[in-house]
C-alpha cells in the first residue's frame, strides 16, 4: 500500500493542473445540478458539461495509466522495485479519489440542496468504474496515444455499426428485449467487465499483450453484439420479482370468437416468406386499473402427420389488441378483444398444408404486470413542481401551442420503467426513463403538442376539438410501476389456421 501511495502521489503531482481544472469542472457541474430542478433550461448546459466531464475523466485516467506504460521494453519502471499490484492500486486509487468520489460528492450536494436525502446512487459510479476499467485496459494494450485514440474510435464505430446492423442481421428480436433489456445489459456488462478485469490482470501481472488484446477485443465485441437467450433473461426477472399482480391472469384461445373482428388495419410488415395468422384469445383476471405489458410469445405447431414447427421467443406479433386507434396494442387492459399473432414460415405453412389441416397449437406468452397509475396533476406552466419526494417536474409552453415537459428524479429507479402521460385513461404516451444527467435522472416529453397527448383531462381531445384556442392550465401524468413478470401457456387442438389467415404476414406491434 505504501508503494501504491507513493506512485499515486507522483501521479497527482504530475497532473496537478489538469486535476485542478477537472475539479473546477466538477464544481460547475455540481452548481448546475443544484439549480437544475428550478432551471430545467440548464439541461443542455448540463449535457455539454457531462460530455466535457467524461472526456476529461478519460484523459486523466489515461494519463495516469500511461505513466507506467505496460507495452514496450524501454520504460524505466520495468526494472525498478514497483510491485505490479501497487502500480495497479495507484491507478485504481486515482480513479476513486479524483473521479468517483467527486462525482458522488457533487451529486450528494446537489440533491441535498434540493431537499432530497442523498441516498447513494451507484448507477453513475458503476458506469464510471466500467469506463475506468475500459480506459485502463485499453491503455495497457496500446503502445501509443494514437493507438489508444484509434481504439476508442474503433469502439465507437463498432458500437454504432452494431446498433445499426444488429436488427438487420440478427433480426428484430436481437435488439428489442423489452423488460428483459436490463438483465441483457447487465449480462453484457458483466461479460465486458470480466474481460476487462482479465486484461488488466494479465497485463499488469504478466504483460501478456497478445492474449490481452484478443481478450479485450472479444469482450468488447461480445458486449456489443450481446449474448442470446431472451427467455433466460426473462426467467431471471420472473425469479427476482415474481408474478406480482399478474398472478390471477388467465389466457386461453377463444376460438368461439369470430376471426374477422380484429380491429384496425393489418400490419405493415408484409413479407413473402411468412404467413400471418391471428387467433382470438381471451385474457381474464387482470386487476382493476392494472395493465399487462405483452412481452414475447413462443408458439409451437404440431400436425397430425407428426411435423413440428417452433417459432422461438418472438417479439414480432404476439398478444395484441387495442381499444382504439390511439392505444398501444401491447398494453393489455382487458377492456377489448385480444389476438395471438403468429408469423409462420411459408414453407412450413404450405408444405404441411396448415391452411386446411387441423393442427395443435401451443403458445406461451410472457407478460409484465404494471400497477395502477400514480396520478400527478401538474399546473401549466410550472417550475420545479415537487411531484413526489425527490422528483421535480417543469412544464413550459412553447410558442403558445407546444408543451415542454421535463421531470427530474433523484434516482432512476423511483420513476418506474415507464411514465405514461394521459388524462382520459385511454391514450397513453410512454416515455422511457433512460437518461441520467448529473445528480438527476431526467425524462422529458419534449415539444409534445397537447393534442398529441390527448389530454381530455384538460377538456381537450384531438379528434373532438381539433382547433385548440387556448392552452390548458393543467395536465395529468400517470406513472405505472412494474409489479411482476409471468408466463402463461395455452393450447388448442384441431385448429385449421386457414380460417385465421389474415394476409401475408402479421405486423410488427409497434407499427400499428
Partner 1 sequence: MNSVIHTQALSKQFRHTDALRDLSLDVPQGSIYALVGPNGAGKTTTIKVLMNILKPSGGRSEVLDVDSRRLGPPQFAQIGYVSENQEMPDWMTVEYFLRFLRPFYPTWDDALAAELLRQFELPPGRKLGQLSRGMRMKAALASSLAYRPKLIALDEPFTGLDALVRDELIEGLLARAENTTILISSHDLAEIESFASHVGYLDQGRLRFSEELETLSGRFREVILTFDAPRPVPSGLPASWVQAEAIGPVIRFIDTEFHAERTPAAVHSFFPGVRDITPNGMPLRAIFVTLARGSRAAA
Residues near partner 1, by CB under 8 A: 2-3, 6, 10, 13-14, 67, 69, 72-76, 78-83
Minimum CB–partner distance for residue 25 and partner 1 (Å): 22
The smaller minimum CB distance to partner 1, of residues 39 and 66, is found at: 66
On the 0-12 / 13-18 / 19+ scale of CB atoms within 10 A, 292 is: buried
Distances (CA, A) of 207 to 75, 95, 217, 431, 454: 13, 22, 17, 47, 62
Are 409 and 394 spatial neighbours (Cβ–Cβ below 8 Å)? no
Minimum CB–partner distance for residue 13 and partner 1 (Å): 8
The smaller minimum CB distance to partner 1, of residues 6 and 194, is found at: 6
d(CA 68, CA 2): 17
Minimum CB–partner distance for residue 68 and partner 1 (Å): 10
- What radius of gyration, in Å, describes the C-alpha atoms of the chain? 27
The smaller minimum CB distance to partner 1, of residues 79 and 469, is found at: 79
The smaller minimum CB distance to partner 1, of residues 81 and 466, is found at: 81
d(CA 331, CA 320): 8
Minimum CB–partner distance for residue 14 and partner 1 (Å): 6
d(CA 497, CA 274): 13
d(CA 416, CA 418): 6
Edge-to-edge strand list for the sheet holding 474-480: 374-379, 474-480, 418-421, 429-432
Return the H-helix or E-strand segment holding 476: strand 474-480
The smaller minimum CB distance to partner 1, of residues 76 and 122, is found at: 76
Minimum CB–partner distance for residue 8 and partner 1 (Å): 12
Taking the CA atoms of 78, 81, 82 and 84 in sequence, report the sign of the dihedral they define: positive
Are 100 and 57 spatial neighbours (Cβ–Cβ below 8 Å)? no
The smaller minimum CB distance to partner 1, of residues 13 and 356, is found at: 13
With CA atoms as reference, report the closest residue to 256 among 492, 93, 10. 492
The smaller minimum CB distance to partner 1, of residues 82 and 155, is found at: 82
Minimum CB–partner distance for residue 96 and partner 1 (Å): 22
d(CA 411, CA 246): 26
In 218-285, DSSP assigns E strands to: 250-253, 274-284
Return the H-helix or E-strand segment holding 225: helix 209-225
Minimum CB–partner distance for residue 63 and partner 1 (Å): 11
How many C-beta atoms lie closer than 10 Å to residue 2's C-beta? 7
Minimum CB–partner distance for residue 87 and partner 1 (Å): 11
Are 316 and 505 spatial neighbours (Cβ–Cβ below 8 Å)? no
Cell 382520459 -> residue: 424
Minimum CB–partner distance for residue 12 and partner 1 (Å): 12
The smaller minimum CB distance to partner 1, of residues 73 and 356, is found at: 73
Amino acid at each position: 500500500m505504501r508503494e501504491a501511495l507513493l506512485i499515486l502521489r507522483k501521479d497527482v503531482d504530475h497532473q496537478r493542473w489538469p486535476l485542478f481544472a477537472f475539479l473546477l469542472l466538477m464544481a460547475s457541474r455540481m452548481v448546475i445540478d443544484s439549480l437544475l430542478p428550478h432551471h430545467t433550461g440548464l439541461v443542455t448546459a448540463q449535457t455539454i458539461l457531462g460530455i466535457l466531464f467524461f472526456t476529461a475523466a478519460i484523459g486523466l485516467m489515461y494519463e495516469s495509466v500511461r505513466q507506467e506504460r505496460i507495452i514496450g521494453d524501454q520504460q524505466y519502471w520495468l526494472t525498478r522495485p514497483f510491485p505490479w499490484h501497487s502500480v495497479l492500486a495507484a491507478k485504481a486509487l486515482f480513479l476513486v479519489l479524483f473521479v468517483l468520489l467527486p462525482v458522488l460528492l457533487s451529486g450528494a450536494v446537489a440533491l441535498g440542496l434540493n431537499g432530497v436525502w442523498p441516498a447513494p446512487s451507484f448507477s453513475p459510479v458503476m458506469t464510471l468504474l466500467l469506463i475506468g476499467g475500459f480506459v485502463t485496459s485499453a491503455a495497457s494494450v496500446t503502445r501509443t496515444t494514437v493507438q489508444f485514440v484509434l481504439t476508442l474510435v474503433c469502439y465507437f464505430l463498432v458500437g454504432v455499426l452494431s446498433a445499426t446492423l444488429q436488427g438487420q442481421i440478427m433480426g428484430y428480436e436481437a435488439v428489442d428485449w423489452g423488460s428483459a433489456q436490463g438483465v441483457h445489459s447487465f449480462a453484457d456488462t458483466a461479460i465486458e467487465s470480466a474481460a476487462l478485469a482479465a486484461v488488466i490482470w494479465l497485463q499488469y501481472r504478466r504483460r501478456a499483450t497478445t492474449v490481452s488484446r484478443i481478450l479485450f477485443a472479444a469482450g468488447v465485441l461480445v458486449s456489443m453484439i450481446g449474448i442470446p437467450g431472451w427467455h433466460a433473461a426473462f426467467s431471471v426477472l420472473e425469479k427476482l420479482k415474481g408474478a406480482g399482480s399478474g398472478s390471477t391472469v388467465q389466457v386461453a384461445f377463444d376460438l368461439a370468437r369470430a376471426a374477422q373482428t380484429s380491429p384496425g388495419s393489418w400490419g405493415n410488415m408484409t413479407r413473402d416468406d411468412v404467413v400471418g395468422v391471428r387467433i382470438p384469445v381471451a385474457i381474464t383476471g387482470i386487476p382493476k386499473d392494472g395493465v399487462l405489458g405483452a412481452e414475447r410469445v413462443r408458439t409451437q405447431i404440431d400436425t397430425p402427420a407428426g411435423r413440428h414447427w417452433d417459432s422461438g421467443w418472438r417479439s414480432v406479433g404476439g398478444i395484441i389488441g387495442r381499444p382504439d386507434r390511439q392505444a398501444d396494442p401491447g398494453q393489455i387492459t382487458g377492456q377489448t378483444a385480444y389476438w395471438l399473432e403468429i408469423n409462420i414460415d411459408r414453407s412450413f405453412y404450405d408444405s404441411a398444408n396448415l391452411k386446411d389441416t387441423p393442427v395443435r397449437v401451443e403458445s406461451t406468452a410472457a407478460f409484465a404486470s404494471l400497477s395502477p397509475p400514480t396520478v400527478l396533476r401538474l399546473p401549466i406552466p410550472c417550475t420545479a413542481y415537487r411531484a413526489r419526494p425527490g422528483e421535480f417536474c417543469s412544464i413550459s409552453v412553447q410558442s403558445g401551442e407546444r408543451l415542454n415537459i421535463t421531470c427530474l428524479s433523484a434516482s432512476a429507479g423511483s420513476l418506474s420503467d415507464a411514465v405514461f402521460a394521459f388524462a382520459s385513461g385511454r391514450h397513453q404516451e410512454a416515455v422511457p426513463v433512460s437518461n441520467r444527467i448529473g445528480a438527476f435522472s431526467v425524462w422529458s416529453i419534449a415539444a409534445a403538442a397537447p393534442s398529441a397527448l390527448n389530454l381530455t383531462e384538460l377538456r381537450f381531445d384531438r379528434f373532438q376539438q381539433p382547433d385548440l384556442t387556448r392552452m390548458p392550465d393543467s395536465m395529468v401524468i400517470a406513472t405505472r410501476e412494474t409489479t411482476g413478470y409471468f408466463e402463461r401457456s395455452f393450447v388448442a387442438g384441431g385448429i385449421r389456421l386457414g380460417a385465421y389467415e389474415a394476409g401475408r404476414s402479421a405486423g410488427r406491434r409497434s407499427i400499428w
